[in-house]
Structure 1
Protein backbone atom coordinates (compact mmCIF):
# COMPACT_ATOMS: atom_id res chain seq x y z
CA UNK A 1 0.00 0.00 0.00
CA UNK A 2 1.24 3.47 -0.90
CA UNK A 3 -0.16 6.42 1.07
CA UNK A 4 0.71 9.93 -0.04
CA UNK A 5 0.41 12.95 2.25
CA UNK A 6 -0.34 16.21 0.44
CA UNK A 7 -1.68 19.69 1.03
CA UNK A 8 -2.88 22.54 -1.13
CA UNK A 9 -0.36 24.87 0.48
CA UNK A 10 2.63 24.83 2.79
CA UNK A 11 2.46 25.10 6.56
CA UNK A 12 -0.59 22.92 7.17
CA UNK A 13 1.30 20.16 9.01
CA UNK A 14 1.79 17.73 6.13
CA UNK A 15 5.24 16.57 7.21
CA UNK A 16 4.08 16.35 10.83
CA UNK A 17 1.36 13.91 9.78
CA UNK A 18 3.68 11.91 7.51
CA UNK A 19 6.43 11.44 10.09
CA UNK A 20 4.13 10.62 13.00
CA UNK A 21 2.14 8.22 10.87
CA UNK A 22 5.34 6.38 9.91
CA UNK A 23 6.54 6.30 13.52
CA UNK A 24 3.19 4.94 14.74
CA UNK A 25 2.86 2.10 12.23
CA UNK A 26 2.98 -1.35 13.75
CA UNK A 27 4.27 -2.89 10.51
CA UNK A 28 7.40 -2.37 8.42
CA UNK A 29 7.14 1.03 6.74
CA UNK A 30 9.15 3.15 4.32
CA UNK A 31 8.92 6.94 4.57
CA UNK A 32 9.89 8.81 1.42
CA UNK A 33 10.35 12.60 1.49
CA UNK A 34 9.45 13.74 -2.04
CA UNK A 35 9.54 17.43 -1.16
CA UNK A 36 12.95 17.50 -2.79
CA UNK A 37 13.27 21.30 -2.96
CA UNK A 38 12.99 21.61 0.83
CA UNK A 39 13.01 18.14 2.47
CA UNK A 40 12.51 18.40 6.23
CA UNK A 41 11.19 15.03 7.38
CA UNK A 42 14.76 14.22 8.48
CA UNK A 43 14.54 16.97 11.12
CA UNK A 44 12.00 14.83 12.99
CA UNK A 45 13.00 11.30 11.96
CA UNK A 46 16.73 11.95 12.63
CA UNK A 47 17.71 9.04 10.37
CA UNK A 48 21.05 7.32 10.00
CA UNK A 49 21.90 7.76 6.31
CA UNK A 50 23.67 4.74 4.84
CA UNK A 51 23.75 5.45 1.09
CA UNK A 52 23.81 8.56 -1.11
CA UNK A 53 23.15 8.16 -4.84
CA UNK A 54 23.49 10.96 -7.41
CA UNK A 55 20.58 11.70 -9.73
CA UNK A 56 21.12 12.79 -13.31
CA UNK A 57 18.95 14.09 -16.12
CA UNK A 58 19.76 13.66 -19.84
CA UNK A 59 20.68 16.82 -21.77
CA UNK A 60 20.84 16.99 -25.60
CA UNK A 61 24.28 17.25 -27.14
CA UNK A 62 24.57 18.39 -30.76
CA UNK A 63 26.93 16.84 -33.32
CA UNK A 64 27.49 19.81 -35.64
CA UNK A 65 29.12 17.61 -38.28
CA UNK A 66 25.75 15.91 -38.82
CA UNK A 67 23.36 18.75 -37.98
CA UNK A 68 21.62 20.44 -40.96
CA UNK A 69 19.96 23.08 -38.73
CA UNK A 70 16.51 21.96 -39.83
CA UNK A 71 15.11 23.07 -36.43
CA UNK A 72 12.96 19.94 -35.98
CA UNK A 73 14.38 19.58 -32.47
CA UNK A 74 13.31 23.10 -31.49
CA UNK A 75 9.85 22.58 -32.98
CA UNK A 76 9.07 19.51 -30.88
CA UNK A 77 10.50 20.84 -27.60
CA UNK A 78 7.56 22.04 -25.52
CA UNK A 79 9.85 23.69 -23.00
CA UNK A 80 11.94 25.84 -25.39
CA UNK A 81 15.14 24.14 -24.30
CA UNK A 82 16.47 24.24 -27.87
CA UNK A 83 16.75 27.13 -30.30
CA UNK A 84 18.15 27.04 -33.82
CA UNK A 85 19.60 30.34 -35.07
CA UNK A 86 21.19 30.25 -38.52
CA UNK A 87 24.04 27.76 -38.11
CA UNK A 88 23.86 27.48 -34.33
CA UNK A 89 21.83 25.24 -32.02
CA UNK A 90 21.49 26.66 -28.53
CA UNK A 91 20.77 24.23 -25.67
CA UNK A 92 19.26 25.67 -22.49
CA UNK A 93 19.97 22.88 -20.03
CA UNK A 94 18.03 24.54 -17.20
CA UNK A 95 14.81 24.32 -19.27
CA UNK A 96 15.32 20.75 -20.46
CA UNK A 97 12.96 18.15 -18.95
CA UNK A 98 15.08 15.26 -20.20
CA UNK A 99 12.28 13.67 -22.23
CA UNK A 100 14.60 12.59 -25.06
CA UNK A 101 12.16 13.64 -27.79
CA UNK A 102 14.72 15.69 -29.69
CA UNK A 103 17.13 12.75 -29.76
CA UNK A 104 14.48 10.39 -31.10
CA UNK A 105 13.11 12.74 -33.76
CA UNK A 106 16.28 14.30 -35.18
CA UNK A 107 16.22 13.22 -38.86
CA UNK A 108 20.02 13.33 -39.12
CA UNK A 109 20.75 11.50 -35.86
CA UNK A 110 22.76 14.53 -34.83
CA UNK A 111 21.61 14.61 -31.20
CA UNK A 112 22.93 12.38 -28.46
CA UNK A 113 22.59 12.74 -24.70
CA UNK A 114 24.95 13.79 -21.99
CA UNK A 115 24.06 13.74 -18.32
CA UNK A 116 23.88 16.50 -15.73
CA UNK A 117 23.62 15.85 -11.99
CA UNK A 118 20.50 17.49 -10.56
CA UNK A 119 20.46 16.12 -7.02
CA UNK A 120 20.90 13.09 -4.79
CA UNK A 121 18.81 10.42 -3.12
CA UNK A 122 19.73 9.54 0.46
CA UNK A 123 18.61 6.31 2.08
CA UNK A 124 18.87 5.08 5.65
CA UNK A 125 16.76 4.19 8.63
CA UNK A 126 15.19 5.69 11.74
CA UNK A 127 14.45 2.89 14.16
CA UNK A 128 12.22 0.44 12.29
CA UNK A 129 11.31 3.00 9.64
CA UNK A 130 13.17 2.83 6.33
CA UNK A 131 13.90 6.41 5.31
CA UNK A 132 14.46 7.91 1.86
CA UNK A 133 14.78 11.55 0.87
CA UNK A 134 15.60 13.39 -2.32
CA UNK A 135 17.62 16.62 -2.36
CA UNK A 136 17.46 18.83 -5.44
CA UNK A 137 20.59 20.82 -6.22
CA UNK A 138 20.39 24.51 -5.35
CA UNK A 139 19.26 26.57 -8.38
CA UNK A 140 18.09 23.46 -10.24
CA UNK A 141 14.60 24.03 -11.65
CA UNK A 142 13.41 20.49 -12.45
CA UNK A 143 12.38 18.41 -9.44
CA UNK A 144 10.94 15.56 -11.53
CA UNK A 145 14.07 13.42 -12.00
CA UNK A 146 14.83 13.46 -8.26
CA UNK A 147 11.23 12.63 -7.30
CA UNK A 148 11.21 9.72 -9.76
CA UNK A 149 14.49 8.46 -8.29
CA UNK A 150 13.04 8.66 -4.76
CA UNK A 151 9.91 6.71 -5.76
CA UNK A 152 12.00 4.01 -7.43
CA UNK A 153 13.28 3.13 -3.95
CA UNK A 154 9.84 1.73 -3.05
CA UNK A 155 10.66 -1.29 -5.20
CA UNK A 156 7.63 -3.38 -4.16
CA UNK A 157 7.92 -2.46 -0.47
CA UNK A 158 4.56 -3.50 1.06
CA UNK A 159 3.90 -0.20 2.85
CA UNK A 160 5.21 3.23 1.82
CA UNK A 161 4.31 6.74 2.97
CA UNK A 162 5.14 9.60 0.59
CA UNK A 163 5.54 13.14 1.91
CA UNK A 164 4.60 15.23 -1.15
CA UNK A 165 5.65 18.80 -1.94
CA UNK A 166 3.08 21.46 -1.01
CA UNK A 167 0.69 22.89 -3.58
CA UNK A 168 -0.76 21.36 -6.75
CA UNK A 169 2.08 21.74 -9.27
CA UNK A 170 3.77 19.11 -11.46
CA UNK A 171 6.05 17.74 -8.67
CA UNK A 172 2.94 17.09 -6.55
CA UNK A 173 1.19 15.24 -9.37
CA UNK A 174 4.31 13.16 -10.02
CA UNK A 175 4.51 12.25 -6.33
CA UNK A 176 0.83 11.29 -6.06
CA UNK A 177 0.72 9.12 -9.18
CA UNK A 178 0.47 5.45 -8.25
CA UNK A 179 -0.74 6.08 -4.70
CA UNK A 180 -3.46 3.86 -3.25
CA UNK A 181 -4.71 6.62 -0.96
CA UNK A 182 -4.02 10.31 -0.39
CA UNK A 183 -4.32 12.16 2.91
CA UNK A 184 -4.95 15.86 2.35
CA UNK A 185 -3.85 17.95 5.33
CA UNK A 186 -5.51 21.31 5.84
CA UNK A 187 -6.53 23.83 8.47
CA UNK A 188 -9.91 25.48 9.17
CA UNK A 189 -9.24 28.86 7.55
CA UNK A 190 -10.43 30.50 4.32
CA UNK A 191 -6.95 30.04 2.83
CA UNK A 192 -6.92 26.41 3.95
CA UNK A 193 -10.31 25.79 2.33
CA UNK A 194 -9.34 27.49 -0.94
CA UNK A 195 -6.17 25.46 -1.36
CA UNK A 196 -7.86 22.25 -0.18
CA UNK A 197 -10.37 22.60 -3.03
CA UNK A 198 -7.49 22.81 -5.51
CA UNK A 199 -5.86 19.72 -4.01
CA UNK A 200 -9.14 17.77 -4.09
CA UNK A 201 -9.48 18.60 -7.79
CA UNK A 202 -6.02 17.12 -8.40
CA UNK A 203 -6.60 13.83 -6.58
CA UNK A 204 -9.99 13.43 -8.25
CA UNK A 205 -8.41 13.95 -11.66
CA UNK A 206 -5.87 11.25 -10.73
CA UNK A 207 -8.61 8.94 -9.45
CA UNK A 208 -7.02 8.48 -6.02
CA UNK A 209 -9.22 7.75 -2.96
CA UNK A 210 -8.68 10.46 -0.38
CA UNK A 211 -9.61 11.83 3.02
CA UNK A 212 -8.87 14.87 5.15
CA UNK A 213 -6.76 15.44 8.23
CA UNK A 214 -7.80 18.70 9.87
CA UNK A 215 -4.94 20.29 11.78
CA UNK A 216 -5.61 22.87 14.52
CA UNK A 217 -9.20 21.72 14.16
CA UNK A 218 -10.60 23.71 17.08
CA UNK A 219 -9.50 27.07 15.66
CA UNK A 220 -10.68 29.03 12.63
CA UNK A 221 -14.13 28.50 11.14
CA UNK A 222 -16.32 25.61 9.96
CA UNK A 223 -15.83 26.19 6.21
CA UNK A 224 -13.67 23.10 5.70
CA UNK A 225 -16.05 20.86 7.66
CA UNK A 226 -19.03 22.09 5.60
CA UNK A 227 -17.13 21.59 2.34
CA UNK A 228 -16.20 18.03 3.29
CA UNK A 229 -19.83 17.26 4.13
CA UNK A 230 -21.06 18.68 0.84
CA UNK A 231 -18.41 16.80 -1.17
CA UNK A 232 -18.73 13.59 0.91
CA UNK A 233 -15.04 13.61 1.76
CA UNK A 234 -14.28 11.86 5.05
CA UNK A 235 -12.48 13.79 7.78
CA UNK A 236 -10.23 11.01 9.04
CA UNK A 237 -8.57 12.81 11.95
CA UNK A 238 -8.79 16.12 13.79
CA UNK A 239 -5.72 17.41 15.62
CA UNK A 240 -6.47 20.09 18.21
CA UNK A 241 -4.58 23.29 18.86
CA UNK A 242 -2.31 21.97 21.61
CA UNK A 243 0.56 23.98 23.05
CA UNK A 244 2.38 20.75 23.88
CA UNK A 245 2.35 19.77 20.18
CA UNK A 246 3.77 23.16 19.23
CA UNK A 247 6.50 22.84 21.85
CA UNK A 248 7.44 19.35 20.63
CA UNK A 249 7.49 20.57 17.03
CA UNK A 250 9.77 23.48 17.92
CA UNK A 251 12.24 21.03 19.47
CA UNK A 252 12.13 18.75 16.43
CA UNK A 253 10.37 16.03 18.44
CA UNK A 254 7.58 13.81 17.16
CA UNK A 255 4.11 14.18 18.60
CA UNK A 256 3.83 10.45 19.29
CA UNK A 257 7.14 10.45 21.17
CA UNK A 258 6.51 13.58 23.23
CA UNK A 259 2.82 12.79 23.81
CA UNK A 260 2.40 8.98 23.62
CA UNK A 261 -1.40 9.25 23.91
CA UNK A 262 -1.46 10.47 20.32
CA UNK A 263 0.12 7.24 19.05
CA UNK A 264 -3.26 5.53 19.23
CA UNK A 265 -4.78 8.44 17.29
CA UNK A 266 -2.38 7.92 14.38
CA UNK A 267 -2.85 4.16 14.48
CA UNK A 268 -6.60 4.70 14.19
CA UNK A 269 -5.93 6.91 11.18
CA UNK A 270 -4.16 4.01 9.48
CA UNK A 271 -7.06 1.71 10.30
CA UNK A 272 -9.51 4.23 8.80
CA UNK A 273 -7.50 4.33 5.58
CA UNK A 274 -7.38 0.53 5.41
CA UNK A 275 -11.18 0.38 5.82
Structure 2
Protein backbone atom coordinates (compact mmCIF):
# COMPACT_ATOMS: atom_id res chain seq x y z
CA UNK A 1 0.00 0.00 0.00
CA UNK A 2 1.16 3.52 -0.82
CA UNK A 3 0.06 6.36 1.48
CA UNK A 4 0.85 9.92 0.44
CA UNK A 5 0.87 12.68 3.04
CA UNK A 6 -0.03 16.00 1.41
CA UNK A 7 -1.41 19.44 2.16
CA UNK A 8 -2.60 22.49 0.29
CA UNK A 9 -0.04 24.70 2.04
CA UNK A 10 3.28 24.40 3.80
CA UNK A 11 3.73 24.31 7.55
CA UNK A 12 0.68 22.22 8.39
CA UNK A 13 2.60 19.19 9.69
CA UNK A 14 2.99 16.84 6.71
CA UNK A 15 6.48 15.75 7.68
CA UNK A 16 5.39 15.28 11.30
CA UNK A 17 2.64 12.89 10.22
CA UNK A 18 4.77 11.04 7.66
CA UNK A 19 7.76 10.45 9.93
CA UNK A 20 5.84 9.50 13.05
CA UNK A 21 3.57 7.16 11.09
CA UNK A 22 6.54 5.42 9.47
CA UNK A 23 8.47 5.00 12.72
CA UNK A 24 5.34 3.78 14.55
CA UNK A 25 4.75 1.05 11.95
CA UNK A 26 8.48 0.27 12.14
CA UNK A 27 9.07 -2.93 10.18
CA UNK A 28 8.34 -3.43 6.48
CA UNK A 29 7.87 0.28 5.86
CA UNK A 30 9.46 2.71 3.43
CA UNK A 31 9.51 6.50 3.68
CA UNK A 32 10.03 8.56 0.52
CA UNK A 33 10.62 12.31 0.89
CA UNK A 34 9.38 13.76 -2.41
CA UNK A 35 9.63 17.37 -1.28
CA UNK A 36 12.89 17.58 -3.23
CA UNK A 37 13.11 21.38 -3.09
CA UNK A 38 13.15 21.40 0.72
CA UNK A 39 13.55 17.83 2.01
CA UNK A 40 13.43 17.67 5.80
CA UNK A 41 12.36 14.12 6.68
CA UNK A 42 16.01 13.26 7.36
CA UNK A 43 16.16 15.91 10.11
CA UNK A 44 13.65 13.91 12.18
CA UNK A 45 14.34 10.37 10.97
CA UNK A 46 18.15 10.66 11.27
CA UNK A 47 18.75 7.79 8.83
CA UNK A 48 22.12 6.27 8.03
CA UNK A 49 22.77 7.20 4.38
CA UNK A 50 24.19 4.25 2.46
CA UNK A 51 23.94 5.31 -1.19
CA UNK A 52 24.15 8.60 -3.09
CA UNK A 53 23.34 8.87 -6.79
CA UNK A 54 23.43 11.86 -9.15
CA UNK A 55 20.35 12.25 -11.34
CA UNK A 56 20.44 13.82 -14.80
CA UNK A 57 17.80 14.55 -17.44
CA UNK A 58 18.42 14.27 -21.20
CA UNK A 59 18.44 17.58 -23.08
CA UNK A 60 19.22 18.33 -26.74
CA UNK A 61 22.69 19.10 -28.06
CA UNK A 62 22.75 20.35 -31.66
CA UNK A 63 25.54 19.69 -34.17
CA UNK A 64 25.34 22.88 -36.24
CA UNK A 65 27.54 21.35 -38.94
CA UNK A 66 24.70 18.93 -39.71
CA UNK A 67 21.75 21.23 -38.95
CA UNK A 68 19.74 22.48 -41.95
CA UNK A 69 17.84 25.01 -39.79
CA UNK A 70 14.52 23.60 -41.01
CA UNK A 71 12.81 24.50 -37.74
CA UNK A 72 11.01 21.17 -37.20
CA UNK A 73 12.59 20.80 -33.77
CA UNK A 74 11.23 24.18 -32.70
CA UNK A 75 7.78 23.35 -34.07
CA UNK A 76 7.40 20.18 -31.99
CA UNK A 77 8.71 21.68 -28.75
CA UNK A 78 5.76 22.90 -26.67
CA UNK A 79 8.02 24.47 -24.04
CA UNK A 80 10.16 26.70 -26.32
CA UNK A 81 13.30 24.90 -25.19
CA UNK A 82 14.74 25.03 -28.72
CA UNK A 83 14.47 27.84 -31.27
CA UNK A 84 15.73 28.52 -34.80
CA UNK A 85 16.53 32.10 -35.75
CA UNK A 86 17.68 32.17 -39.36
CA UNK A 87 20.88 30.14 -39.35
CA UNK A 88 21.23 30.20 -35.59
CA UNK A 89 19.78 27.51 -33.32
CA UNK A 90 19.36 28.13 -29.59
CA UNK A 91 18.64 25.62 -26.84
CA UNK A 92 17.36 26.38 -23.34
CA UNK A 93 18.09 23.26 -21.23
CA UNK A 94 16.29 24.61 -18.15
CA UNK A 95 13.01 24.68 -20.11
CA UNK A 96 13.41 21.21 -21.63
CA UNK A 97 11.02 18.48 -20.46
CA UNK A 98 13.19 15.69 -21.91
CA UNK A 99 10.53 14.29 -24.25
CA UNK A 100 13.02 13.57 -27.04
CA UNK A 101 10.65 14.90 -29.71
CA UNK A 102 13.16 17.27 -31.27
CA UNK A 103 15.65 14.46 -31.79
CA UNK A 104 13.05 12.24 -33.42
CA UNK A 105 11.78 14.80 -35.94
CA UNK A 106 15.20 16.13 -36.99
CA UNK A 107 15.62 15.02 -40.66
CA UNK A 108 19.37 15.64 -40.60
CA UNK A 109 20.11 13.71 -37.42
CA UNK A 110 21.76 16.82 -36.02
CA UNK A 111 20.34 16.49 -32.51
CA UNK A 112 21.74 14.19 -29.86
CA UNK A 113 21.02 14.04 -26.15
CA UNK A 114 23.31 15.19 -23.40
CA UNK A 115 22.72 15.16 -19.66
CA UNK A 116 21.73 18.04 -17.38
CA UNK A 117 22.18 17.43 -13.67
CA UNK A 118 18.93 17.69 -11.69
CA UNK A 119 20.11 16.77 -8.22
CA UNK A 120 20.96 13.75 -6.11
CA UNK A 121 19.14 10.80 -4.59
CA UNK A 122 20.16 9.59 -1.15
CA UNK A 123 19.12 6.24 0.28
CA UNK A 124 19.45 4.89 3.78
CA UNK A 125 17.54 3.44 6.73
CA UNK A 126 16.71 3.81 10.37
CA UNK A 127 15.66 0.89 12.60
CA UNK A 128 13.98 -0.99 9.76
CA UNK A 129 12.51 2.08 8.03
CA UNK A 130 13.79 2.24 4.44
CA UNK A 131 14.48 5.88 3.48
CA UNK A 132 14.84 7.65 0.13
CA UNK A 133 14.89 11.36 -0.65
CA UNK A 134 15.95 13.70 -3.44
CA UNK A 135 17.80 16.99 -3.26
CA UNK A 136 17.12 19.30 -6.20
CA UNK A 137 20.13 21.16 -7.56
CA UNK A 138 20.18 24.80 -6.51
CA UNK A 139 18.76 26.88 -9.35
CA UNK A 140 16.94 23.95 -10.97
CA UNK A 141 13.36 24.87 -11.85
CA UNK A 142 11.76 21.50 -12.58
CA UNK A 143 11.36 19.07 -9.73
CA UNK A 144 8.97 16.41 -11.19
CA UNK A 145 11.74 14.42 -12.98
CA UNK A 146 13.65 14.08 -9.70
CA UNK A 147 10.44 13.24 -7.84
CA UNK A 148 9.70 10.47 -10.35
CA UNK A 149 13.19 9.14 -9.73
CA UNK A 150 12.52 9.04 -5.99
CA UNK A 151 9.22 7.25 -6.69
CA UNK A 152 11.05 4.69 -8.85
CA UNK A 153 12.57 3.26 -5.65
CA UNK A 154 9.13 2.26 -4.35
CA UNK A 155 9.26 -1.30 -3.06
CA UNK A 156 5.86 -2.97 -3.57
CA UNK A 157 6.43 -5.48 -0.77
CA UNK A 158 6.59 -2.66 1.80
CA UNK A 159 4.13 -0.12 3.15
CA UNK A 160 5.28 3.05 1.38
CA UNK A 161 4.70 6.46 2.96
CA UNK A 162 5.33 9.51 0.77
CA UNK A 163 5.97 12.98 2.16
CA UNK A 164 4.68 15.10 -0.75
CA UNK A 165 5.55 18.75 -1.43
CA UNK A 166 3.04 21.39 -0.28
CA UNK A 167 0.47 22.86 -2.63
CA UNK A 168 -1.42 21.40 -5.60
CA UNK A 169 0.95 21.95 -8.53
CA UNK A 170 2.86 19.50 -10.75
CA UNK A 171 5.36 18.33 -8.08
CA UNK A 172 2.47 17.32 -5.80
CA UNK A 173 0.70 15.42 -8.58
CA UNK A 174 3.95 13.62 -9.48
CA UNK A 175 4.34 12.61 -5.82
CA UNK A 176 0.77 11.43 -5.20
CA UNK A 177 0.04 9.72 -8.52
CA UNK A 178 -0.49 5.99 -8.09
CA UNK A 179 -1.09 6.19 -4.34
CA UNK A 180 -3.73 4.06 -2.66
CA UNK A 181 -4.60 6.74 -0.11
CA UNK A 182 -3.82 10.40 0.58
CA UNK A 183 -3.71 11.86 4.08
CA UNK A 184 -4.50 15.57 3.76
CA UNK A 185 -2.97 17.48 6.66
CA UNK A 186 -4.56 20.79 7.57
CA UNK A 187 -5.12 23.17 10.43
CA UNK A 188 -8.44 24.69 11.61
CA UNK A 189 -7.91 28.19 10.25
CA UNK A 190 -9.37 30.10 7.27
CA UNK A 191 -6.08 29.67 5.38
CA UNK A 192 -6.00 25.98 6.24
CA UNK A 193 -9.56 25.47 5.00
CA UNK A 194 -8.95 27.40 1.78
CA UNK A 195 -5.92 25.31 0.85
CA UNK A 196 -7.54 22.08 2.02
CA UNK A 197 -10.33 22.65 -0.51
CA UNK A 198 -7.76 23.01 -3.30
CA UNK A 199 -6.02 19.83 -2.20
CA UNK A 200 -9.29 17.88 -2.07
CA UNK A 201 -10.12 18.98 -5.63
CA UNK A 202 -6.71 17.78 -6.87
CA UNK A 203 -6.98 14.41 -5.12
CA UNK A 204 -10.51 13.84 -6.42
CA UNK A 205 -9.40 14.58 -9.98
CA UNK A 206 -6.81 11.83 -9.52
CA UNK A 207 -9.49 9.54 -8.10
CA UNK A 208 -7.54 8.65 -4.95
CA UNK A 209 -9.15 7.78 -1.62
CA UNK A 210 -8.41 10.40 1.01
CA UNK A 211 -8.93 11.44 4.60
CA UNK A 212 -8.03 14.41 6.79
CA UNK A 213 -5.61 14.89 9.67
CA UNK A 214 -6.16 18.09 11.64
CA UNK A 215 -3.03 19.46 13.28
CA UNK A 216 -3.26 21.97 16.13
CA UNK A 217 -6.89 20.89 16.27
CA UNK A 218 -7.87 22.81 19.42
CA UNK A 219 -7.17 26.27 18.01
CA UNK A 220 -8.98 28.16 15.25
CA UNK A 221 -12.56 27.23 14.40
CA UNK A 222 -14.79 24.30 13.44
CA UNK A 223 -15.09 25.15 9.73
CA UNK A 224 -12.66 22.41 8.66
CA UNK A 225 -14.73 19.79 10.48
CA UNK A 226 -17.93 21.18 8.99
CA UNK A 227 -16.39 21.07 5.52
CA UNK A 228 -15.22 17.48 6.05
CA UNK A 229 -18.69 16.45 7.19
CA UNK A 230 -20.38 18.15 4.22
CA UNK A 231 -17.93 16.56 1.76
CA UNK A 232 -18.15 13.18 3.52
CA UNK A 233 -14.38 13.08 4.08
CA UNK A 234 -13.35 11.21 7.23
CA UNK A 235 -11.28 13.03 9.83
CA UNK A 236 -8.85 10.27 10.75
CA UNK A 237 -6.72 11.99 13.38
CA UNK A 238 -6.54 15.17 15.42
CA UNK A 239 -3.33 16.46 17.00
CA UNK A 240 -3.82 19.16 19.65
CA UNK A 241 -1.76 22.32 20.02
CA UNK A 242 0.76 21.08 22.59
CA UNK A 243 3.84 22.67 24.12
CA UNK A 244 5.48 19.24 24.52
CA UNK A 245 4.94 18.45 20.84
CA UNK A 246 6.28 21.87 19.82
CA UNK A 247 9.37 21.43 22.00
CA UNK A 248 10.03 17.98 20.52
CA UNK A 249 9.65 19.37 17.02
CA UNK A 250 12.06 22.23 17.71
CA UNK A 251 14.66 19.67 18.87
CA UNK A 252 14.17 17.60 15.70
CA UNK A 253 12.61 14.84 17.79
CA UNK A 254 9.71 12.63 16.76
CA UNK A 255 6.48 12.82 18.75
CA UNK A 256 6.50 9.05 19.31
CA UNK A 257 10.01 9.25 20.77
CA UNK A 258 9.25 12.19 23.06
CA UNK A 259 5.75 10.95 23.97
CA UNK A 260 5.63 7.13 23.51
CA UNK A 261 1.87 7.04 24.15
CA UNK A 262 1.40 8.59 20.71
CA UNK A 263 2.75 5.48 18.98
CA UNK A 264 -0.57 3.67 19.45
CA UNK A 265 -2.42 6.67 18.03
CA UNK A 266 -0.36 6.59 14.84
CA UNK A 267 -0.79 2.82 14.59
CA UNK A 268 -4.54 3.37 14.91
CA UNK A 269 -4.32 5.93 12.10
CA UNK A 270 -2.59 3.33 9.94
CA UNK A 271 -5.27 0.73 10.73
CA UNK A 272 -8.05 3.19 9.80
CA UNK A 273 -6.40 3.90 6.45
CA UNK A 274 -6.00 0.17 5.79
CA UNK A 275 -9.66 -0.39 6.57
CA UNK A 276 -10.80 2.37 4.18
CA UNK A 277 -8.57 1.02 1.39
CA UNK A 278 -9.81 -2.53 1.91
CA UNK A 279 -13.43 -1.37 1.84
CA UNK A 280 -13.02 0.52 -1.43
**1:71 maps to what in 2?**
71
Whether 1:152 aligns to 2:152 is yes
1:198 partner SS: helix
Structure 2, gaps ≥5 residues long: 276-280
Q: Cα deviations across residues 61-80 of structure 1 (Å, max 9, x unaligned)?
A: 11223222121211221211
Whether 1:56 aligns to 2:66 is no
Tell me, yes or no, if the aligned pair for 2:26 and 2:129 is still in contact at 8 Å. no
Q: Does 33-42 or 109-118 show the bigger shift?
A: 109-118
**1:90 maps to what in 2?**
90
**Residue correspondences, number:** 275
**1:233: how far off?**
0.4
**2:47 maps to what in 1?**
47
**1:167 maps to what in 2?**
167
1:194 partner SS: helix
Whether 1:99 aligns to 2:103 is no
Structure 1, gaps ≥5 residues long: none
**1:204 maps to what in 2?**
204
**2:8 maps to what in 1?**
8
Give RMSD over aligned pairs.
Answer: 1.0
**1:7: how far off?**
0.4
Q: Cα deviations across residues 123-178 of structure 1 (Å, max 9, x unaligned)?
A: 00111101111000000111122111111111434211010000011010000111
Q: Does 244-253 or 72-81 show the bigger shift?
A: 72-81
**2:278 maps to what in 1?**
none
Counterpart CA distance in 2 for 1:158 and 1:128 is 11
2:108 partner SS: coil
1:200 partner SS: helix
**1:118 maps to what in 2?**
118
Q: Cα deviations across residues 19-58 of structure 1 (Å, max 9, x unaligned)?
A: 0000000531010000000000000001100000110000
**1:249: how far off?**
0.1
Tell me, yes or no, if the aligned pair for 2:27 and 2:129 is still in contact at 8 Å. no
Counterpart CA distance in 2 for 1:51 and 1:157 is 21
Q: Does 164-173 or 144-153 show the bigger shift?
A: 144-153
**1:252 maps to what in 2?**
252
